[in-house]
């Protein structure tokens, strides 16, 4: 039986520090989109009512039944328009669902993380893509992954200056883009540092951190700044080296190839583009959740990267990653809980481990 973990109304004292049995059952209702009735509750202090559904990720959604399929489409490199056609939804509805799902998955990714105990070998690299116009508005996407588990720690785009061969047509496009969006500054260092700091957050309890990168000159300073000089073992490899499995950069090259394939808008020669980089970032969050929680580490494995690290006891299904809302940080309901146990309190049932 589901017990609400806290009162959903922020102004209520039972929101941040709920007292025991702060809510009582308050009838049920029958939603049109479900076969079963939904339990309602009332807060004893603020007297407001809410339901089990208030805590679900698909709270207030139309067609919540299509969310898992949409997630699977978008995690498989299918564009938003094509997903809309396949699911019989409007384009606008699909866009809004995508954003809501991706923002939810960003929180889920962060909530399920715990400080690393076993592994602290990171791979870091940047891949290039663009927003709106390939020649005029390029982006750098720093990607940080754990080497053995293949857990994707962070990937978030940063604008860079257009560079490379200039043609008249390209110069015109750059002038036009600058008129419209302002001068493009290179923020790739800031983006890289942000990604590396997400790794430092995960490795905060470890005495030794390994990092594999290519020979870009800015990396040693950024890595030291993020991880601290004393505990960092930074190995740099020439990026021109053959991209085979024995290459020390293989893990990150392989993850980037996977990302290019499964995030449709990163594909080369693709018709899919990001008009704004913040939606590319949402696409990357969706990919990270799929990669870390749903997909196997390798095809021969049973475990997902997050399972490999002990963050979750098994691989999650699309329904499970889209189950409970994650806005309350560690106090949010754990995706595998049926009773409403929070992420910080939830423990796997003894038989399932
Ligand atoms: Zn209340």
In this structure, are residues 99 and 67 in contact, taking their beta carbons and an 8 Å threshold?
no
What percentage of residues in the chain have a pLDDT greater than 90?
Answer: 91
CA of 40 to the centre of ligand 1 (A): 13
pLDDT above 80: residue 352: no
Measured CA distances, 174 to 39, 164, 177, 180, 183 (Å): 57, 13, 5, 10, 9
Q: Which residue has the higher pLDDT, 271 or 303?
A: 303
CA of 319 to the centre of ligand 1 (A): 29
CA of 14 to the centre of ligand 1 (A): 5
Q: Which sign does the torsion angle of CA 197, 202, 207, 213 carry?
A: negative
CA of 12 to the centre of ligand 1 (A): 5
Residues contacting residue 330 through CB under 8 Å, at least 6 positions apart: 111, 342, 343, 344
Residues contacting residue 13 through CB under 8 Å, at least 6 positions apart: 19, 45
Distance CA 323, CA 121 (A): 31
pTM over the 0.85 mark: yes
The total of other beta-carbon atoms located within 10 Å of residue 300's CB is 6
CA of 42 to the centre of ligand 1 (A): 8
pLDDT above 50: residue 353: no
From 143, 274, 157, 251, select the one nearest 196 (Cα to Cα): 143
CA of 18 to the centre of ligand 1 (A): 9
CA of 49 to the centre of ligand 1 (A): 8
CA of 13 to the centre of ligand 1 (A): 7
**For residue 119, what pLDDT is reported?**
67
In this structure, are residues 306 and 292 in contact, taking their beta carbons and an 8 Å threshold?
yes
CA of 296 to the centre of ligand 1 (A): 41
Distance CA 191, CA 140 (A): 8
pLDDT, tens only, 98-145: 999 999 999 999 999 999 987 689 999 999 999 999 999 999 999 999
**For residue 34, what pLDDT is reported?**
85
CA of 58 to the centre of ligand 1 (A): 21
CA of 113 to the centre of ligand 1 (A): 29
DSSP 142: E
**What value does the mean pLDDT of the chain take?**
95
CA of 339 to the centre of ligand 1 (A): 19
CA of 52 to the centre of ligand 1 (A): 14
DSSP states of 99-140: HHHHHHHHHHHHHT----SS--EEEEEEEEEEBS-TTTSEEE
Give the helix/strand (H/E) hosting 164: none
Q: What does the block give as tokens for 203?
A: 């490795």
pLDDT above 60: residue 262: yes
CA of 60 to the centre of ligand 1 (A): 20
From 118, 126, 123, select the one nearest 211 (Cα to Cα): 123
CA of 2 to the centre of ligand 1 (A): 17
**For residue 225, what pLDDT is reported?**
96
Q: Which residues pair with 234 in a beta bridge?
A: 211
Q: 8-37 as b/e, with b when 16 or more CB fall inside 10 Å?
A: beeebebbeebeeebbeeeeeeeeeeeeee
CA of 106 to the centre of ligand 1 (A): 27
CA of 304 to the centre of ligand 1 (A): 38
Mean pLDDT confidence for 79-96: 97
| Residue 329 falls in which region: left (phi positive, over 0), alpha (psi -120 to 50) or beta | left
Mean pLDDT confidence for 239-255: 92
pLDDT, tens only, 22-46: 999 999 999 888 888 999 999 999 9
CA of 121 to the centre of ligand 1 (A): 45
């Amino acid at each position: 039986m589901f017990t609400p973990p806290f009162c959903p109304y922020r102004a209520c004292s039972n929101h941040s520090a709920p007292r025991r049995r702060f809510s009582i059952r308050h009838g049920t209702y029958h939603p049109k989109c479900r076969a079963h009735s939904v339990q309602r509750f009332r807060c004893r202090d603020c007297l407001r009512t809410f339901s089990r559904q208030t805590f679900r990720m698909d709270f207030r959604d139309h067609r919540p039944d299509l969310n898992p399929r949409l997630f699977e489409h978008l995690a498989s490199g299918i564009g938003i328009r094509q997903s809309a056609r396949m699911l019989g939804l409007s384009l606008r509805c699909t866009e809004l669902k995508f954003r809501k799902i991706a923002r939810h998955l960003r929180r889920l990714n962060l909530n399920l993380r715990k400080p690393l105990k076993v592994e602290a070998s990171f791979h870091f690299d940047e891949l290039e893509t663009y927003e709106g116009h390939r020649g005029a508005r390029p982006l750098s996407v720093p990607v940080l992954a754990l080497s053995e588990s293949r857990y994707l720690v962070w990937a978030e785009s940063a604008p860079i200056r257009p560079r490379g061969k200039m043609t008249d047509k390209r110069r015109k496009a750059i002038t036009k883009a600058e008129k419209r969006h302002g001068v493009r500054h290179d923020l790739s260092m800031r983006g890289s540092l942000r990604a590396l700091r997400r790794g430092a957050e995960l490795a905060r309890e470890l005495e030794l951190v390994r990092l594999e990168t290519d020979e870009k000159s800015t990396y040693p300073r950024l890595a030291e700044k993020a991880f601290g000089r004393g505990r960092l073992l930074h190995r740099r490899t020439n990026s021109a080296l053959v991209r085979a499995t024995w290459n020390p950069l293989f893990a990150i090259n392989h993850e980037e190839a996977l990302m290019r394939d499964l995030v449709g808008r990163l594909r080369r020669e693709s018709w899919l583009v990001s008009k704004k980089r913040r939606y590319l970032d949402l696409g990357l969050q969706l990919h990270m959740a799929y990669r870390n929680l749903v997909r196997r580490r390798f095809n021969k494995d049973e475990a997902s990267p997050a399972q490999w690290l002990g963050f979750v006891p098994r691989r999650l299904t699309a329904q499970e990653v889209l189950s409970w809302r994650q806005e309350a940080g560690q106090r949010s309901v754990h995706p595998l809980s049926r009773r409403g146990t929070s992420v910080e309190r939830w423990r796997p049932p003894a038989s399932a481990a």
